[in-house]
Structure 1
Amino acid sequence: MSTLIDHARAGDPVAWSEFYLRYRGPLVTYLLRRTRGDRTLAEDLTQETFVRAMRSIRGYRWTGTDFSAWLITIARNLLNDHSRRAMNTEIPVFEIPERDSGVSVEGLVISALESAESAARLEFAMTKLTRAQQEALRMRYWDGLTARQISQRTGKGVGAIKTLGYRARERLRQELAEAH
């Protein structure tokens, strides 16, 4: 193991590939458990773990324990940082209208609660889609990309992207109907 670490310190891409193949799965599993099944977040944090490991490998000292312990420490710290940032972010639920606007505060509260419930149902239904379907919908509707732009980013044909998006929307409709 120490030879592989020495190669990684020297910037050997084969050594990093070996680490990635060996430890990616356990890291994703570890992070999935701690993110309540949020696959996108777990994958993002896994990637960031490897980036941080590559940046700080020179400071790593092999003590005979498995290299994964060091990677899991990095992943845990990244997750803690993410959680702290999320807790410090204010999310406005709704704005209270002027007193004479004719809009009822109770109506706004009910509307906000219904919106939050709909968002939770959508988020749960998204977990039922494949990773490719989730990414296609995210790029199309959250990032506002066209099918051509998504095609350029993913290397898939425009027709394949449109088909993937159609199937993802149909599956999402089906999941939402079953949940309702």
Structure 2
Amino acid sequence: MEDDSDPSDALIERVRQRDPAALADYLDAVRRRMIGFIKSLCSDRLLSVVELDDLYQEVSATALTGLATAPLDEYAPIDWLQQIARRRVIDAHRFHFEAQRRDAGRQQSMHAQADSSVGGMEALLVASITSPSAAFSRDVRMDRMQQAMGELTEEQQTAIRLRYAEGLPTKEIAERLGKTDVAVRVLLSRSMRQLEKQLEDVRPSER
């Protein structure tokens, strides 16, 4: 299915029935529309450090892994995808800018450690999923992150290290792991969700 084609009512209904193949076709159909929507959410500053296609692929991976519990009885598929896109853009902005702004010196130290220690990678991950008001619980979350990382498979840990500590694109990670790019994106999305779930009880208020 080509970009910019209008999804048929039959395809939309199959997506509502939580058919993964139908969702894949739907994502192809609305790809250009969604990339345009994502671009409208991004600042020029964010676009200077991330690729729109990478953000769209993350949205797609999140949608595919979350299809079983998607609120498609409440929202049209396009509205659901746009909700995911909004969250991903916020997460990207938080990862690239807010953590550094809160504590630039400490963040630089994290990056310096990332290539040589697991602790550095864990610090980056804590920063990437910590809200702007979360500094008070960072040490507690670091301890919990170390425990949670130990519960991941070796493949999950490797993928996370290559993506978040070494900053490699998912295509290169896929080559190293002998997987497809989509499979790596799904692996990363599931792994990050697993880590976030492990930290739910120490997640501070956004307020």
TM-score greater than 0.5 by the shorter chain: no
Q: TM-score, normalised by structure 1?
A: 0.43
TM-score (normalised: structure 2): 0.38
**Higher Rg:** 1
Greater RCO between the two (CA within 8 Å, min separation 6)? 2
